[in-house]
A and B are shown apart, each in its own frame.
Chain A
Amino acid sequence: MDERKVRESATFPPHVIAEIQRAASEGLYYIRGAGAKRPVPTFDDLVFLGASISRYPLEGYREKCDTNVTIGTRFAKKPIELKIPITIAGMSFGALGANAKQALGHGASAMGTSTTTGDGGMTEEEREASDILVYQYLPSRYGMEPDQLRKADAIEVVAGQGAKPGGGGMLLGQKITDRVAQMRTLPKGIDQRSACRHPDWTGPDDLEIKIQELREITDWEKPIYIKVGATRTKFDTMLAVKAGADAIVIDGMQGGTAATQTCFIEDVGIPTLPAVRQAVEALKELDMHREVQLIVSGGMRTGGDVAKALALGADAVSIGMASLMALNCNAPIYEEDYHALGTRPGSCHHCHTGKCPVGITTQDPELEKRLDPELGAQRVRNYLATLTLECQTLARACGKSHVHNLEPEDMVALTMEAAAMARVPLAGTDWIPGWS
């Protein structure tokens, strides 16, 4: 066979053919974990304009570059103070095992930042492990208890998630152990469905009253976030402000999930890059930028990503998948167990199976032993420290004494798509496609 004459179809590459044939065999959508695998415009398509003659940089290892951020300055009596602008995103106990939650809590606490609960409520272990814990208030209300609201440092009303805007959650039966079932008041072993919208409010007017209720229950102490999947980001941001949020979490389509339909992961939502810009525009239009804090998530990986999100106007970022990778998600260890799942390190998205080869997204006690929570905490701490150092390095190079002083003017885009989405000029030009 002459290999040069064998050409794959761009429309029907092997993975598409495989999915068509799987669908033909099973008759049901494919459910998986992790985030979008399709290429989308990202922060990689932006670069910083380091200082030279027209700007002067700060000395890399001598001059101060602060990273602290306060969340909840609008209404909460007790805003939260983070030492770094990088938080750990909401991930449930159930989706993650107890060791993973503990490792994330201790690692984040060591860096002075927050972690977040998820569906199913708050575990004692994560409260103990996390100095600053944000409590998610989700449509399912699984495990939702007022005592947990009162124990939390902030409350995040989840209206949507980047991996599945408009969709509810899933936790497949193989992960519903006795403890998870008890926490969620559900029979063991069932495929647990989480509702896609809240049972007692719809729309921004109701949301305003819902926020009032949560504030009344907690005596107006806790910052209240609203989290949305990035879709109609400008409108959603404006409505969240109108509803009385202290902070808004925008989760781009690269954000991960424990399990949902692939068509949600790949085909719904907009990338994080344009979402952050739209959210900032909305806040500025309302004169609420920096008054209502903006937290951005969805595919954050490096200090460069963090710095670019902050330069576009975010107050902080949140990381989910990347923090799991710091715990060895997709690491080339226990390779035979990846193979048993039909995958390999680097491509695994089998969080939904409960058979996580590295013991993170599992409730299996034997698999969980593969994640030492103390070692995991150290890895999370190291990773967060690296992101922070990278972000500071870039900020100093742009002459900034606080990472929040980064601004869009410090960046240019390498592609027309990124230029249009981030509304910064294409590199070497003054041109912003669609705007100038």
Chain B
Amino acid sequence: MHTLDLDRMAVRDVNQRLHSDAAGTDTDQRYEILNPMGRHAIAVGLDHPFDVTVRGHAGYYCGSMNKEATVTIDGNAGVGVAENIMSGTVHVTGYASQSAAATGHGGLVVIGGDASARCGISMKGVDIVVGGSVGHMSAFMAQSGHMVVCGDAGESFGDSIYEAQLFVRGSVESLGADCIEKEMGPEHVETVRGLLERAGIDADPAEFRRYGSARQLYNFKIGNIGYY
């Protein structure tokens, strides 16, 4: 395992090392990043199946725009963790701040604890599994992908949602515009089961409820003026 110590290296050097090593031939593809100390933009823009562990708390945008790599943050993560993830996995063992997995196009994001407001905002295909609860306006304008929340969801959950599928085990404080509860069929239970397994979270998929778009705001209509 390669060790990159942010007490001895700048974030810029760590990222450039990870980017340049992607073109190399080293068979050891495991990295640990020490002393993150809340620094921003750690392990961003990875484009190779590395296995990267950040040992401690990270600042904004850790693991953002990830492709193929597995990034584990052994601690808490700041705003926009795994922002615009394309593939691979970003796993936060602790809590995540606002806009976790924002605009993610693919891959898997796992938050062990709670995720704050706007988790999964504008998600475009990413799968998100949150061990705890999510804050207000989570899954706002969620376009595609899945969000599984093992705890509760804050107010205006799924506001202006498109085609993403949302699953919550606990309570939902309120649903946002055009987001409705939908029937939880056996295929949905299997979807949740698969996501929980991938996330390594032990929960009964049959306890979850499903939410998605009523598709009433897809085209501008005078009858919907109160929602705009």
In Å, the complex CA distance between A141 and B104 comes to 9
Within 8 A of A (CB), among B8-45: 11-12, 15-16, 19, 40-41, 44-45
Cβ contact within 8 Å between A199 and B12? no
Segment among B77-85, B147-155, B182-190 that sits at the interface with chain A = B77-85
Q: Which residue of B lies closest to A220 (CB)?
A: B12
In Å, the complex CA distance between A146 and B99 comes to 18
Segment among B56-64, B165-173, B197-205 that sits at the interface with chain A = B56-64
Main secondary structure of the interface of A (DSSP, over half): loop
In Å, the complex CA distance between A145 and B124 comes to 11
Cβ contact within 8 Å between A213 and B64? yes
Cβ contact within 8 Å between A144 and B103? yes
Cβ contact within 8 Å between B122 and A28? no
Q: Is the interface on chain B under 10, 10 to 19, 20 to 34, or 35 or more residues?
A: 35 or more
A20 in contact (CB, < 8 A) = no
In Å, the complex CA distance between A220 and B16 comes to 10
Cβ contact within 8 Å between B44 and A216? yes
A185 in contact (CB, < 8 A) = yes
Cβ contact within 8 Å between A201 and B45? no
A389 in contact (CB, < 8 A) = no
B97-118 contact mask (Cβ, 8 Å, vs A): 1 or 0: 0110011010000000000001
Cβ contact within 8 Å between A199 and B102? yes
Q: Which residue of B lies closest to A142 (CB)?
A: B124
A200 partner, pick from B15, B47, B99, B225, beta carbons under 8 A: B99
Q: Which residue of B lies closest to A140 (CB)?
A: B122
B67 in contact (CB, < 8 A) = yes
Cβ contact within 8 Å between A195 and B141? yes
Q: Which residue of A lies closest to B118 (CB)?
A: A199
Within 8 A of B (CB), among A136-158: 140-142, 144-147, 149-150
Cβ contact within 8 Å between A141 and B122? yes
B53 in contact (CB, < 8 A) = no
A70 in contact (CB, < 8 A) = no
Cβ contact within 8 Å between A209 and B59? yes
Cβ contact within 8 Å between A28 and B220? yes
Cβ contact within 8 Å between A191 and B118? no
Cβ contact within 8 Å between B144 and A185? yes
Chain A's nearest CB lies how many Å from the CB of B26? 19
In Å, the complex CA distance between A218 and B140 comes to 28
Interface centre among B15, B19, B84 (most CB of A within 10 A): B84
B160 in contact (CB, < 8 A) = yes
In Å, the complex CA distance between A172 and B121 comes to 22
Q: Which residue of A lies closest to B122 (CB)?
A: A199
Cβ contact within 8 Å between B225 and A27? yes
A2 in contact (CB, < 8 A) = no
Chain A's nearest CB lies how many Å from the CB of B141? 7
A216 partner, pick from B41, B47, B80, B144, beta carbons under 8 A: B41
In Å, the complex CA distance between A190 and B40 comes to 37
Cβ contact within 8 Å between B218 and A216? no
Quick one: given A28-B222, A185-B124, are A218 and B163 in contact (CB under 8 Å)? no
In Å, the complex CA distance between A191 and B162 comes to 11
In Å, the complex CA distance between A325 and B174 comes to 48
B225 CB contacts on chain A under 8 angstroms = 27-28
In Å, the complex CA distance between A193 and B162 comes to 11
Cβ contact within 8 Å between B218 and A187? yes
In Å, the complex CA distance between A396 and B141 comes to 53
Within 8 A of A (CB), among B65-92: 65, 67, 79-80, 83-84, 86
In Å, the complex CA distance between A37 and B124 comes to 37
A173 in contact (CB, < 8 A) = yes
A17 in contact (CB, < 8 A) = no
B133 in contact (CB, < 8 A) = no
Cβ contact within 8 Å between A146 and B84? yes
In Å, the complex CA distance between A26 and B99 comes to 37
Quick one: given A141-B124, A187-B218, are A212 and B41 in contact (CB under 8 Å)? yes
Cβ contact within 8 Å between B124 and A146? no
A186 in contact (CB, < 8 A) = yes
Within 8 A of A (CB), among B188-224: 218-220, 222
In Å, the complex CA distance between A195 and B163 comes to 17
Cβ contact within 8 Å between B45 and A217? yes
Chain B residues with a Cβ under 8 A of chain A: 11-12, 15-16, 19, 40-41, 44-45, 47, 59-61, 64-65, 67, 79-80, 83-84, 86, 98-99, 102-103, 105, 118, 121-122, 124-125, 140-141, 143-144, 160, 162-163, 218-220, 222, 225
CB<8 Å pairs between A and B, sample of 20: A27-B222, A28-B225, A141-B102, A141-B124, A144-B103, A146-B67, A185-B105, A185-B125, A187-B162, A190-B218, A195-B141, A199-B102, A200-B103, A201-B80, A209-B79, A213-B40, A213-B44, A216-B44, A216-B45, A217-B64
